[in-house]
Amino acid sequence: MRHFIQRLLAPMALTFLALTATLAPAQAQDTKQNVILVLDASGSMWGQIDGVSKIEIAREQIAGMLDGWDAEQSLGLMAYGHRSKGDCADIEMVLPPGKLDAAAFQSAVNKISPKGKTPLSDAVRQAAEQLKYTEEAATVVLLSDGLENCEADPCALGAALEADGVDFTAHVIGFDISEGEAGQLSCLAENTGGEFYLAGDAAALTQSLQQTVQRIAEPAPAPEPTPVVQPEPAEEPEPAGPQGLRGLARLCADCDILDQDVFWRLYEAEQDINGKRKEIARDGKAQPIFELAAGEYFIQVQYGAAFAGQAVTIEPNTLTEATLTLNAGLLRLEAEASPGGTDLEDSMFYWVYENKTDLQGNREEVSRDGNATPLFRLPAGEYYVTARHGAAYKSEVLIVLPGELTEFTFDMDVAYLRLKAVATEGGEELTDNQFYWVYDAKIDLQGNRTETARDGNATPLFRLSAGDYHIVARHGSAYSTLDISLEPDTLTDRVMDMNVGYVRMKSVMAEGAAPIAEDTFYWVYEAKSDLQGNRKEVSREGRAEPLFRLPAGDYHVIARHGASRISHDLTVVAGELQDITLVQNSARIKVTTALEEGGAPLTGDLFYWVMSADTNLEGERTEITRDGGASPLLTLKADDYVIRVRHAGETYDFPISLTPGEESEVNLVLN
């Protein structure tokens, strides 16, 4: 456009040489932008990289991003998938855009707990609307570890936002996704003039966020000076009209010109040593007009996953039309539970691959969509298409012809299983601490089954291929199994009897004393012991007052308070809650040591052993516990002991006697 204006002004300048021309001063450019960070809080963010969850990594790296953020720069926070499971409307404007308060922003990020779906397209759209993108410049930074699964097309959204916005940009960071999955996210950035980053670990995420901040902080390009010419009173020439290029696209040589869902990119004609061209402009209109200086260019059109490009020459005073043939067609998919059965309108996902495989038997992904009835725009050819409904998969080889619509309905052969659990037959439904695994019924030579699905909801609905399955349910330490056959297009409801009882425990130091609030630990073992006298551990808990969920039966419990241990035998009854208070008969003593009576406590070169008061036949005492602190706080069962102190190479023994519930201090004098 700049070259075009200069070319038009050149003859005018020659005509008006005698006149004075002045240039209006350029306005200072405001580098500040309105920005919203859109954070993926879907359930997959609990996945781990090198033993650390992705949400924890994201929280830490966002903190680093805030350190480098201009405090005067507007920043808001939006999250999705953090409040409910399976809800595509779970999108929240956590912090509206405004002057950054880094501590408040980080606190809001740290409170976000992933659990739901990935409605990233709608989240970006809502962020753009919050920023009034049709009225003001707006920037969205999307950090996502997954692809859209709420029936939306990020690529189309990006094109629409770019076309409607004043100056809208989306920078996208794909966190722990494969290069094959990157296409859906990268086009959202590309279609809005933003950057796309692929971050596989914490270091890459740090770099991606830093580069994004740098990109946002870049000053906007200064506008060209506006010529102000003092014209002589002369007859002006007729306007020459637009000079440049109009893009037109069609699916096949004799197809109609496309009027929607088209995206254009204009490049310089020359390629660099890597075969890449410098982009000049882009447009999401179906039939855009690019005003250009005369010269050579390369124009590319995108229609879904189909691309076409050609070199063009722009002549002076001419609007050139370039009609590109995509050699593409349409593929519309839908699915049903069984032939002629229920149409599947939710929880569907489709992948489109090239049909040919590489030497490892892998296919290259072309496109994917989470809509129930997606319409794919594809280059003509043969494709391998996979449909998923829950844990049910089907694949088919389909052919797309130029300019034609191919329609196909998948028979998913799917059955539905809804489960719930009760503590005991006839009891109330369990609503928490429930987990289910679904396995194929058949067993391999090693006695193992293949896992098909799992769910941590209290009453899950499984979508499974019709057939035979083995179900395992867990509630705390209680397990129940079920073998079942499922028919296509049929919902089966089953209630699993967990045969579970509840034991809530607490400990006190002495009869009638207050419950112990810390330094307790509990082990639960089966009551029966093996031939070596060992018992099988069932559960353990380090909280002060744990609630154990145990299969009905007999158990042996060991409770520890400091160095004090007691045991307790109990019987668990299905459906019943028992509250058990264990009396530790323990005492707590703080020990200090001085060189003389009334002297200052020693602070170093000390070590303590607590020994039994009684000795064996060899005159030796049994060690109870030890501590290397200067003033240890010892928790012991009430009894008689000898405290052995080592200081400056010398060892001293002090007898003590403790009573249940006693909390005291003792000063040992070394003389």
Q: What is the pLDDT of residues 121-135, one digit of tens each?
A: 888 889 888 888 888
Q: What average pLDDT score do residues 500-518 get?
A: 95
The number of beta carbons lying within 10 Å of the beta carbon of residue 448 is 10
Residue 57: C-alpha distances to residues 53, 61, 109, 198 (Å): 6, 6, 12, 15
Q: Which domains does the chain have, with CATH numbers?
A: 34-217 (3.40.50.410), 244-325 (2.60.40.1120), 329-411 (2.60.40.1120), 415-497 (2.60.40.1120), 500-583 (2.60.40.1120), 587-669 (2.60.40.1120)
Q: How confident is the model over 595-643, as pLDDT tens digits?
A: 999 899 999 899 999 999 999 999 899 999 999 999 999 999 999 999 9
Query: What are phi and psi for residue 288, nearest 5 degrees?
Result: -75, 160
Phi, psi at 485, each rounded to 5°: -115, 135
Which pair of tokens denotes residue 245? Answer: 């290029």
pLDDT for res 505:
96
Helical H runs in 111-201?
Answer: 120-130, 154-164, 182-190
When pLDDT is cut at 50, 70 and 90, the band that residue 50 belongs to is: confident
Residue 267 has pLDDT above 70, yes or no: yes
pLDDT value of position 33:
72
Q: What is the pLDDT of residues 369-417, one digit of tens each?
A: 988 899 999 999 999 999 999 999 999 999 999 999 999 999 999 999 9
Q: 225-246: per-residue pLDDT in tens?
A: 545 555 555 454 444 458 999 9
8 A C-beta contact, residue 100 and residue 68:
no
* pLDDT tens digits, one per residue of 432-476: 999 999 999 999 999 999 999 999 999 999 999 999 999 999 999
Average pLDDT rounded to a whole number, residues 322-350: 95
Contact indicator for 97, 75 with CB cutoff of 8 Å: yes
Average pLDDT, the chain: 88
Q: What is the pLDDT of residue 85?
A: 80
Across 6-10, 174-178, 285-289, least confident range: 6-10
Strand-by-strand arrangement of the 640-647 sheet: 621-627, 606-615, 640-647, 650-657
Q: Which residue has the higher pLDDT, 153 or 10?
A: 153
Return the pLDDT at 12: 37
- Spatial distance between the Cα atoms of 99 and 627, rounded to a whole number of angstroms: 52
Residue 9 pLDDT greater than 60, yes or no: no
- The residue among 364 and 162 whose pLDDT is bigger is 364
Is the model's pLDDT at 418 over the cut of 90? yes
More confidently predicted of 9 and 222: 222
- The alpha carbon torsion through 243, 257, 284, 321 (nearest 10 deg) reads -10
**What's the rounded mean pLDDT across residues 640-662?**
94
pLDDT at res. 231: 52
- The structure's pTM equals 0.62
Query: Which residues, including other chains, have CB under 8 Å from residue 312's CB and lie 6 or more apart?
Result: 245, 296, 297, 298, 299, 320, 322
Q: Cβ contacts of residue 426 below 8 Å, gap of 6+?
A: none
Residues of the chain above pLDDT 70, percent: 91
Determine how β-strand 434-440 pairs with β-strand 467-475.
antiparallel
Strands 34-40 and 74-80: parallel
Q: Report the pLDDT value the prediction gives residue 177, as an integer from 0 to 100.
A: 82
